[in-house]
Chain A
Amino acid sequence: MKYIFDRLRWPDGLRRLWHRMGSPRWFYETTGPWVPWLAAAAALLIGVGTVWGLAYAPPDYLQGDSFRIIYIHVPAAYLAQAGYILMAICGVVLLVWRMKLADMVMATVAPIGAAFTFLALATGSIWGKPTWGTYWIWDARITSVLILLFLYLGIMGLRRAIERPEAAGRACAILAIVGVINIPIIKYSVDWWMTLHQPATFSVTSAPAMPPIMWLPLLLNVLGFNLLFAVSVIQGTRTEVLLRERRTRWVTDLCRQERA
């Protein structure tokens, strides 16, 4: 272990990029032009994917039209987990490198991730009634996703409960990092235990259990939801940057420029 650590070296170019990335001002100025493009691409992908999925994809032989909620449920559930992992990575960066920008991203991701988690639970519940016969069941998959929602809400609450921003950020980082253990539990809950929720339809190693005419619109929606998530996090972080750096010279100058 010590051997590996002693040989951990950074190439200097990467190191400089890393430090520049840590600058909130650099982030604000670089990402500004991205926002409209990302938003437009997200709207296009989600628009096409959703209309295709809801109106043109064939109904499932067993579930009929009710399976179409998959086009919202799967992207939402995937981003609920990806968002949490992003938050945990930001937590590590904050604790190890004390990078302020990581804390700003973490603060932004929490409500967005919570929204996607809620969407996954709500669409799953609506889907459950016509297929399973119940809106809710305490099986391992559904319960672990509910815990994910509580983790997000807990991190949001913790930030507001601690007055000093640095202390709040560190406390949230620790909770985010520890909570990441829930992610493999969510993923493998349907394989480890007997659940009402079916196992995964898509995996990296095998062909999807669905013909292309059904998964293509889903692919568009997954890409679109990714961009929607990205643009929400970027825009939210930009707001957070301005808010926290409001007393710095570059922000006051920016405000003066805007006003003029």
Chain B
Amino acid sequence: MPWGSKRKSSRMHPKRKQRLLVIGVLVGGVGLTTALVLNALNENINLFYPPDQIVAGMAPVDQRIRAGGVVVEGSVFRETGSMMVSFLISDLDGSEVPVTFEGILPNLFGEGQGIVANGRLGADGVFVASEVLAKHDENYMPAELAAMRGRKPPMGNEVDSGSNGYSAGG
């Protein structure tokens, strides 16, 4: 017996078809509107300015903004006798922005780690941060595995995982 014959199957009720169509149009319309609004607001939804935008002068000077990037290896300097820290953040693509911060850094702060800083960009191109937040990536692994892959936790933040910590694997 063929698939569409009268006895084995029946068509969707026209009223229901119409309602389904109305819902489809409703969702499509609202979806399109939302997409347009989000697209128009795109720049404002971003939490922070990446280094290349700051270097290109796209970030406003002397306004409260956030800057985000990866802390450049070997760029962290701590002033003796104060809580002053300075470092460079990079987008790993050549653009670097100097950041200064006075205060307590989060535990996950470290060279090679992502951060988001809240503060003001000076006319001299130095970002003066009033708050530094640490970003972490989506990768999780035990210390031993991290050591094998050459990943190090940030300085002064050793993870205690039994007898051989991350340093065991070199």
Could you list which residues of chain A lie within 8 angstroms of chain B, going by C-beta atoms?
Answer: 5-12, 15, 58-64, 67, 70, 92, 95-97, 130-134, 137-140, 174, 177-178, 180-181, 185, 192-196, 198-201, 209-211, 213-214
Question: By the criterion CB–CB under 8 Å, are B134 and A214 in contact?
Answer: no
Question: By the criterion CB–CB under 8 Å, are A64 and B160 in contact?
Answer: yes
- Asked if B47 lies at the interface with its beta carbon under 8 angstroms from chain A, I say yes
Q: Which of B20, B68, B140, B159 touches A210 (beta carbons < 8 Å)? A: B140
Q: Which residues of chain A are near B132, meaning CB under 8 Å?
A: 133
Closest residue on chain B to residue A8 by CB atoms = B12
Q: Which residues of chain B are near A177, meaning CB under 8 Å?
A: 23, 26-27
Q: Which residues of chain B are near A192, meaning CB under 8 Å?
A: 38, 45
Could you list which residues of chain B lie within 8 angstroms of chain A, going by C-beta atoms?
Answer: 3-4, 7-12, 16-17, 19-21, 23, 26-27, 30-31, 34, 38, 42, 45-48, 50, 68, 106-108, 116, 131-147, 151, 153-154, 157, 159-161, 166
Q: Which of A63, A97, A210 has the most CB of B within 10 A?
A: A63
Given known pairs A193-B45, A194-B50, A198-B135, the reply for A60 and B30 (CB within 8 Å) is no
Question: By the criterion CB–CB under 8 Å, are A214 and B10 in contact?
Answer: no
What is the minimal beta-carbon distance from B108 to any residue of chain A, in angstroms?
A: 6
Q: Which residues of chain B are near A196, meaning CB under 8 Å?
A: 47, 116, 133, 135
Closest residue on chain B to residue A174 by CB atoms = B26
30 contacts between A and B (CB under 8 A): A9-B3, A9-B10, A9-B11, A10-B11, A11-B9, A58-B143, A60-B142, A61-B142, A61-B153, A62-B136, A63-B108, A67-B140, A97-B16, A130-B107, A133-B108, A133-B133, A174-B26, A177-B27, A193-B45, A193-B46, A194-B47, A194-B48, A195-B47, A198-B135, A198-B138, A199-B137, A199-B138, A210-B141, A211-B141, A213-B142
Question: By the criterion CB–CB under 8 Å, are B138 and A137 in contact?
Answer: no
Given known pairs A61-B141, A211-B141, the reply for A194 and B46 (CB within 8 Å) is yes
Q: How far is the CA of A49 from the CA of B16 in the complex (A)?
A: 44
Q: Which of B21, B107, B159 touches A60 (beta carbons < 8 Å)? A: B159
Question: By the criterion CB–CB under 8 Å, are A12 and B10 in contact?
Answer: yes
Q: How far is the CA of A140 from the CA of B43 in the complex (A)?
A: 12
